[in-house]
């Protein structure tokens, strides 16, 4: 007979009283180390606010640090990774490694970023040549020439040029032109009249812009006048930027034209000359995302004066490089972007800021060292197999759909079978041998690295698509789906649960945390409102019957309505149309991940751990993926600029559409999260 302690009996009685599950003798993970049990706030009913119930205990114990606009599981993973990368950098800094080696580049970059004495001594010297070019502008051709040159060094102005796959011929790399030109995060900041947005806009126009232009070398009068010039140009361009939700229509944002047609669209711009300045070779046709924006640029070049454009370009240079220059410049940049926009009270320690910059610039060099130590072969194997388990589950969902015709189902299955997963880390790493890094200048290193990255991108023009290349580093806490490649990228860091070894996490939690919120989510992106319009080979092509397409749209609209009704702050609602793709992927990931989990031994055995059934642990594992909280300033910015809903809604809203959620937590009519069965959304 198993002896049960008094402490265990009390614990079991508490669990039962909460209505979670009846107590049975079962394997226990130490509650202090259980990645879901330890976060619970049992003062909240699961059926009233599941996010708070699942994560509220952690939130109460973990206020947002002053240097952050939000704090959650991604930050905790990031802190673990930063500490590991810090050691790698400090070792490289002392190594006296051969010139050109990975270790030399890492060590010298880190050194230059921490060398504040040299940074202060340099002032704006690292950008002085760019500022001199701007001062020398005499006509429209000069404006375009300087804009293009700056673009190649990472300063994005009026021309949003880049190289990427042709959406209708995914084997071909093409020049893309997209809307650009703004200093605030998107067009809504220039026009919304609510108090919060108005306050941000006025700070930007009357405080931030003049302060930065003064720091870039102008006197107070020139800076004040220059700020007005910058704002009036940006506001005009904003009037001709598409809204966030309108950027999600792949057909409307695909406008292929010859260079001759492009010249007709914008007669003030000689595109053959501009493409040469942009270091783009042999361009015969381009894909213009938003033609009306470039017509507006053409008008703006004639409308605004040369001095207006000089102020605008000066602002672009100083703002792009602010984080790598003197303390005064960096502090003002943080005051606006960090505090006014995001609510952060102080900056991160300098070593973290430098490390984050290095990660963005040459993260794959760090990634090679990171995965050797921190992502074992067993973990890669576990998640590679999990991708296939999720694929099998999704296949079953497609086959059982009652609203899709056999004809479309067959093509959907073909696309699903063709999804290519990239798990953990690349099989082939990027070659950084031509990137020069030294200890002389931090800003100089960043500027050279940006130019290297730009050339690395534009040199793909006319070459075969490299399906081995990753667009994320292994140490990135994120994942994505590429419609043009029909592939999912799942970096090693995305599977980390802070403070817990991967081998010690039970399948219920892992299937919620990884299979549902990440793997299933990313695969579902291939079948969301945007992704579904691309075929198995990644081409933008109508492969649905019109009837099935209409049925999908009807179901998706129900999800739009669900999220439109969510009020986050003040008068700020979720934009259900702009966030639709992510919301479809969340709901799809949950139901597909759940089907995959139902095939595991843990689900079939049904034994509780810490009083939580496997099904309950699955939902808690999913909620763990969105654990965290956010300052109001950052939430407001997210609502206006991001296609992702806030984390708490990514848990609470889709769960109300999942029947098994109601069963798992005994949710009944009258509970705040109850939705009548006939009003629940089901797509995949």
- pLDDT, position 21: 38
Q: What is the pLDDT of residues 45-76, one digit of tens each?
A: 999 999 999 999 999 999 999 999 999 999 99
Residue with tokens 């300063």: 155
pLDDT, mean of residues 643-662: 98
Q: What is the pLDDT of residues 423-457, one digit of tens each?
A: 999 999 999 999 999 999 999 999 999 999 999 99
Given a contact cutoff of 8 angstroms between Cβ atoms, the answer to whether 524 and 592 are in contact is yes
- pLDDT, position 635: 96
Collect all residues with Cβ–Cβ distance below 8 Å to 314 and sequence separation of at least 6. Answer: 131, 134, 213, 216, 218, 226
Largest CA distance in the chain: 92
Segment (H or E) for 257: strand 256-258
Q: And the tokens for 541?
A: 């092509």
Helical axes 102-114 vs 350-374, angle rounded to 10°:
160
- pLDDT, position 29: 84
Q: How confident is the model at residue 147 (pLDDT cuts 50, 70, 90)?
A: very high
Q: What percent of the chain has pLDDT over 90?
A: 92
- Give SS3 for 680: coil
Length of the chain: 684
Q: What is the pLDDT of residues 592-640, one digit of tens each?
A: 999 999 999 999 999 999 999 999 999 999 999 999 999 999 999 999 9
Burial class (CB in 10 A: 0-12, 13-18, 19+), 503: exposed
CA distance 344 to 350: 15
**Distances, alpha carbon 321 to alpha carbons 44, 200, 390, 546, in Å:** 46, 21, 43, 49
Q: And the tokens for 465?
A: 């698509």
CA 550, 590, 603, 376 dihedral sign is positive
- pLDDT, position 4: 34
| Of 202-206, 249-253, 495-499, the least confident | 495-499
All structural domains of the chain with their residue ranges: 1-63+388-426+470-659, 121-356
- pLDDT, position 14: 37
Given a contact cutoff of 8 angstroms between Cβ atoms, the answer to whether 154 and 447 are in contact is yes
Q: Is the pLDDT of residue 417 over 50?
A: yes
C-alpha angle with apex 606: 601 to 610, nearest 5 degrees? Answer: 115
Residue with tokens 């370009």: 313
Q: Is the pLDDT of residue 644 over 50?
A: yes
| Of 36-45, 513-522, 569-578, the least confident | 569-578
Task: Of 225, 221, 186, 227, give the one whose Cα is nearest residue 203.
Answer: 227
541 dihedral zone (left: phi>0; alpha: psi -120 to 50; beta): beta
Q: How confident is the model at residue 545 (pLDDT cuts 50, 70, 90)?
A: very high
**Domain at 121-356, CATH class:** mainly alpha
Given a contact cutoff of 8 angstroms between Cβ atoms, the answer to whether 383 and 343 are in contact is no
CA distance 642 to 424: 26
Mean pLDDT, the chain, whole residue set? 94
Q: And the tokens for 216?
A: 């870039």
Given a contact cutoff of 8 angstroms between Cβ atoms, the answer to whether 588 and 652 are in contact is no
CA distance 664 to 21: 9
Q: And the tokens for 168?
A: 């209708």
Q: And the tokens for 154?
A: 């990472």
Q: Going by DSSP bridges, is the β-strand pair 169-178/285-288 parallel, antiparallel, or unpaired?
A: parallel
DSSP line for 77-141:
HHHHHHHHHHHHHHHHHHS-PPTTSHHHHHHHHHHHHH-HHHHHHHTTGGGHHHHHHHHT--SHH
Side-by-side strand order, sheet with 420-424: 420-424, 487-491, 480-482
Residues 80-92 as b/e (b if ≥16 CB within 10 A, e otherwise) read: bbbebbeebbeeb
Helix locations, 304-349, DSSP H: 306-321, 327-334
Task: Of 283, 287, 282, give the one whose Cα is nearest residue 256.
Answer: 287
CATH 3.40.390.10 fits 1-63+388-426+470-659, yes or no: yes
pLDDT, mean of residues 348-375: 92
Question: What would the 3-class secondary structure string for 615-626 be?
Answer: HHHHHHHHHHCC
Q: Is the pLDDT of residue 565 over 70?
A: yes
C-alpha angle with apex 438: 435 to 441, nearest 5 degrees? Answer: 110
Task: Of 403, 534, 459, 422, give the one whose Cα is nearest residue 162.
Answer: 459
**Distances, alpha carbon 569 to alpha carbons 64, 406, 434, in Å:** 18, 44, 48
More confident residue, 682 or 372: 682
Q: How confident is the model at residue 368 (pLDDT cuts 50, 70, 90)?
A: confident
Q: Is the pLDDT of residue 18 over 90?
A: no
Q: How confident is the model at residue 28 (pLDDT cuts 50, 70, 90)?
A: low
Q: How confident is the model at residue 19 (pLDDT cuts 50, 70, 90)?
A: very low
The CB-based long-range contact list for 494-498 (8 Å cut-off, 24+ gap) reads 494/518, 495/379, 495/383, 496/77, 496/80, 496/81, 497/35, 497/73, 497/624, 498/73, 498/76, 498/77, 498/79, 498/80
Distance of CA 294 to the CA centre of its chain: 26
Collect all residues with Cβ–Cβ distance below 8 Å to 362 and sequence separation of at least 6. Answer: 105, 106, 109, 432, 435, 437, 449
DSSP line for 479-502:
-EEETTTTEEEEEGGGG-BTTB-G
- Give SS3 for 165: strand
pLDDT, mean of residues 390-417: 98
Collect all residues with Cβ–Cβ distance below 8 Å to 394 and sequence separation of at least 6. Answer: 416, 520, 523, 524, 592, 684
């Amino acid at each position: 007979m198993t002896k049960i302690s008094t402490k265990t009996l009390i614990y079991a009685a508490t669990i039962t009283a909460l209505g979670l599950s009846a107590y049975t003798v079962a394997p226990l993970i130490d509650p202090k180390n259980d990645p879901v049990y330890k976060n619970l706030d049992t003062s909240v009913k699961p059926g009233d606010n599941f996010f708070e119930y699942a994560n509220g205990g952690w939130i109460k114990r973990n206020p947002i640090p002053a240097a952050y606009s939000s704090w959650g599981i991604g930050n905790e993973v990031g802190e673990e990774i930063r500490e590991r990368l810090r050691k790698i950098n400090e070792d490289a800094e002392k190594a006296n490694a051969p010139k050109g080696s990975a270790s030399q580049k890492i060590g010298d970059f880190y050194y230059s970023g921490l060398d504040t004495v040299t940074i202060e001594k340099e002032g704006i010297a690292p950008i002085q040549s760019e500022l001199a070019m701007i001062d020398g502008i005499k006509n429209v051709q000069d404006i375009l020439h300087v804009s293009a040159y700056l673009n190649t060094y990472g300063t994005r102005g009026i021309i949003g040029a880049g190289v990427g796959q042709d959406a209708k011929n995914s084997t071909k790399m093409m020049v893309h032109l997209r809307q650009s030109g703004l200093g605030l995060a998107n067009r809504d900041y220039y026009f919304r009249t609510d108090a919060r947005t108005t306050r941000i806009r006025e700070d930007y126009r009357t405080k931030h812009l003049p302060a930065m232009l003064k720091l870039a070398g102008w006197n107070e009068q020139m800076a004040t006048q220059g700020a007005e010039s910058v704002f009036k140009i940006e506001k005009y361009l904003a009037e001709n930027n598409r809204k966030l939700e309108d950027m999600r229509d792949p057909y409307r944002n695909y406008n292929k034209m010859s260079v001759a047609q492009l010249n007709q669209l914008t007669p003030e711009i000689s595109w053959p000359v501009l493409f040469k300045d942009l270091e783009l070779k042999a361009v015969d046709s381009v894909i213009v995302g938003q033609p009306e924006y470039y017509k507006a640029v053409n008008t703006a070049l004639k409308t605004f004066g040369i001095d207006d454009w000089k102020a605008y370009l000066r602002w672009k240079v100083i703002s792009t490089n602010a984080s790598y220059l003197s303390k005064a410049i960096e502090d003002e940049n943080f005051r606006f972007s960090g505090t006014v926009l995001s609510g952060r009270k102080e900056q991160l320690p300098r070593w973290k800021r430098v490390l984050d910059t290095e990660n963005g610039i040459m993260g794959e060099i760090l990634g090679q060292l990171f995965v050797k130590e921190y992502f074992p072969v067993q973990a890669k194997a576990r998640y590679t197999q999990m991708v296939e388990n999720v694929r099998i589950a999704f296949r079953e969902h497609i086959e059982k759909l009652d609203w899709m015709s056999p004809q479309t189902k067959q093509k959907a299955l073909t696309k699903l079978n063709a999804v290519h997963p990239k798990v953990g880390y690349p099989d082939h790493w990027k070659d950084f041998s031509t990137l020069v890094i030294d200890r002389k200048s931090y800003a100089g290193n960043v500027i050279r690295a940006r130019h290297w990255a730009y050339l690395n991108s534009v040199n793909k023009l006319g070459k075969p698509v490299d399906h081995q290349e990753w667009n994320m580093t292994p140490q990135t806490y994120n994942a994505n789906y590429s419609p043009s490649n029909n592939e999912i990228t799942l970096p090693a860091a995305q599977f980390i649960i802070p403070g817990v070894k991967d081998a010690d996490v039970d399948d219920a939690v892992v299937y919620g945390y990884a299979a549902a919120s990440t793997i299933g989510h990313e695969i579902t992106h291939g079948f969301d409102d945007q992704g579904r319009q691309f075929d198995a080979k990644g081409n933008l092509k109508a492969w649905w019957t019109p009837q099935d397409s209409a049925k999908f749209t009807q179901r998706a609209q129900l999800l739009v309505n669900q999220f439109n009704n969510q009020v986050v702050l003040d008068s700020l609602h979720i934009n259900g149309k702009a966030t639709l793709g992510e919301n479809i992927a969340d709901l799809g990931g949950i139901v597909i991940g759940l089907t995959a989990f139902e095939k595991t031994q843990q689900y079939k055995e049904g034994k509780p751990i810490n009083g939580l059934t496997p099904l309950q642990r699955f939902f808690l594992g999913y909620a763990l993926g969105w654990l965290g909280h956010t300052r109001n300033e950052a939430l407001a910015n997210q609502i206006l600029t991001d296609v992702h809903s806030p984390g708490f809604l990514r848990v609470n809203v889709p769960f109300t559409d999942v029947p098994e959620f109601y069963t798992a937590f005994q949710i009944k009519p009258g509970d705040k999260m109850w939705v009548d069965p006939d009003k629940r959304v089901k797509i995949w």
